[in-house]
Amino acid sequence: MSGRVHTKTIPPHERISSFAPYVSNLDDRLAVYEASRCLMCFDAPCISACPAGINIPEFIYRIKTGNFYGAAKVIRESNILGGECGYVCPVERLCESKCVRRNLNEEPVAISMLQRFAYEKEKLKGLVKFPKSRPKNKKVAVVGAGPAGLSAAYELARMGYSVTVFDSNPRPGGLLFYGILPWKAPWSVPESEIGLIKEYGINFVTNKKIADLKSLLKDYDAVFVGVGATKSQKLGIPGEDLNGVYPAQEFLYSVAKWLMGEGKAPDLKGKRVAVIGGGDTAIDAACASVRLGAERVYIVYRRSLAEMPAVPYGRNQAREEGVEFLLLTAPVRILGDKRVKAIECVKMELTEPDSSGRRGVRPIKGSEFCLDVDSVIVAIGQKPDEDLLKSYGVKTEKGLIVVDENFSTSIKGIFAGGDAVNGGETVVEAVAEGKKAAAAIDKFLSGGKNPKK
């Protein structure tokens, strides 16, 4: 029996003065200790719970034996963004949620901490590079250099395809830079992993927005689309167009840009901010507001804590950093002339659970109240750019690209994955979909036959 390791964290009042990471990594001794908590389960449920299917007991066993680089190899083999994922995966609902240690009434093995550790060790020696297959004389275009596109591009390049990646941003990475802020993962992590991907001889074309896919198909044998879901959903309540109302994605995008030295972040110094929503993005937007100097930050969420989709880890972080949770509270309208002055909310009550077990909510009549705020950040979900998908001509459903089990869209030769397909999941899910789509593209380009290596 042994308890899980907890590393040092910078106390909340200190950490909020910067966007830097605040959780320290495992040192060798703690890593080996934590690794020895892993039972090395057979057909381990943690592997099934990892979208990328990393052989978790294998890499942890290698840490236990002191074979740190070998551990990194196991991770990299399954997940080309394994370092980033070690930092940003919401493991409480992925691998760690299924760890067998929990059945022993213990905390799960700190899988992501160990994954980070392996990555940091790997970086000291140079990230693991695998051999490439012989060139295949076929060209694939990848639209979008987020995790999904990067993963597909890497897999295809490794198989020997000639790959060109287009991205409308000045740098590849998608939300790894323009969404996930550095307190979760220092940007040096995606930078190093994108550097590794580039070593496979992929052609990156940045600042290039692709609006037409069919013409791409003239120059390329297949196309993978990983354009993400970067448009925030709208609340659809009065006042949403006032100054001081920010869609979460755009808000975080501008914070990221500002951290890169471009443009300005919204000025929240001494301001009161209401973040609408209960997901991980709402938490991030709230914690970013705290770091921008906001005086009071509220999270306004319609349901109760039990229904909140954000992982407990993030909820704790927000609470520690002084974010106030207004639960069972829904916005009714945003008030103000030109600028936001307040937000009117209504208290909600839970209804009986529906067939899926999730409880609904309904407003309590007469419970309306006003919250004085200077800014409202709307974080109730995201979707892909509707006009873009329309111009692509691929079949969509509820604003998302429709794909079959091979990640093939309605247009032959065009495949898709990541947030644009799943509506906004995780980095690791995007990586996994990019990987599976690459395998399908390979099959497609080799005429359905299993290509000889």
Ligand X SMILES: Cc1cc2nc3c(=O)[nH]c(=O)nc-3n(C[C@H](O)[C@H](O)[C@H](O)COP(=O)(O)OP(=O)(O)OC[C@H]3O[C@@H](n4cnc5c(N)ncnc54)[C@H](O)[C@@H]3O)c2cc1C
Q: Which residue among 71, 72, 80, 89 contacts ligand X (CB under 6 A)?
A: 89
Q: Closer to ligand X at the Cβ: 308 or 420?
A: 420
For residue 333, give the nearest of 388, 391, 409, 276 by alpha carbon. Answer: 276
Would residue 252 be called left, alpha or beta, if left means φ above 0 and alpha means ψ between -120 and 50 degrees?
alpha
Instruction: Give the largest Cα separation in the chain, rounded.
Output: 70
Q: Is 48 in the site for other proteins (CB under 8 A)?
A: yes
Q: Is 51 in the site for ligand SF4 (CB under 6 A)?
A: no
Q: Is 67 in the site for other proteins (CB under 8 A)?
A: no
Rounded Cα distance, 111 and 232, in Å: 31
User: Three-state DSSP class for 346?
Assistant: strand
- In the block, residue with structure tokens 């060109």: 164
CB under 5 to 8 A by kind: which of ligand SF4, ligand X, other proteins, none does 109 bind? ligand SF4
Q: Is 426 in the site for ligand X (CB under 6 A)?
A: yes
Q: Which residue among 17, 24, 103, 367 contacts other proteins (CB under 8 A)?
A: 103
Half-sphere exposure of 182 (CA within 13 A, CB side): 18
User: Three-state DSSP class for 388?
Assistant: helix
Site string for other proteins, 15-34 (x = CB under 8 A): ------------------x-
Q: Closer to ligand SF4 at the Cβ: 54 or 432?
A: 54
CB-based contacts of 398-402 (< 8 A; 24+ apart in sequence): 398/423, 399/423, 400/229, 401/225
Q: Is 39 in the site for other proteins (CB under 8 A)?
A: yes
Q: Are 79 and 130 in contact (CB under 8 A)?
A: no
Q: Is 46 in the site for ligand SF4 (CB under 6 A)?
A: yes
**What does the CA dihedral 128, 130, 136, 142 come to, rounded to 10 degrees?**
-30
Count of residues that bind ligand SF4 according to CB under 6 A = 15
By CB under 6 A, what part of segment 120-179 binds ligand X? 143-149, 166-169, 174-175, 179
Rg of the Cα trace of the chain? Answer: 23
By CB under 6 A, what part of segment 207-236 binds ligand X? 209-210, 226-228, 230
Count of residues that bind ligand X according to CB under 6 A = 40
Residue-level length of the chain: 453
Q: What tokens were used for 256? A: 């990221």
Rounded Cα distance, 264 and 89, in Å: 28
Q: Is 72 in the site for ligand SF4 (CB under 6 A)?
A: no
CB under 5 to 8 A by kind: which of ligand X, ligand SF4, other proteins, none does 33 bind? other proteins
Instruction: Name the E strands within 23-132.
Output: none
DSSP codes of every residue in 60-77: HHHHHTT-HHHHHHHHHH
Q: Which residues bind ligand SF4 (CB under 6 A)?
A: 38-41, 44-46, 56-57, 60, 99-101, 109, 111
Q: Which residues bind other proteins (CB under 8 A)?
A: 2, 33, 36, 39-45, 48, 64, 100, 103-104
Q: Which residues bind ligand X (CB under 6 A)?
A: 88-90, 143-149, 166-169, 174-175, 179-180, 184, 209-210, 226-228, 230, 249, 252, 280-281, 284, 388, 418-420, 424-428, 430
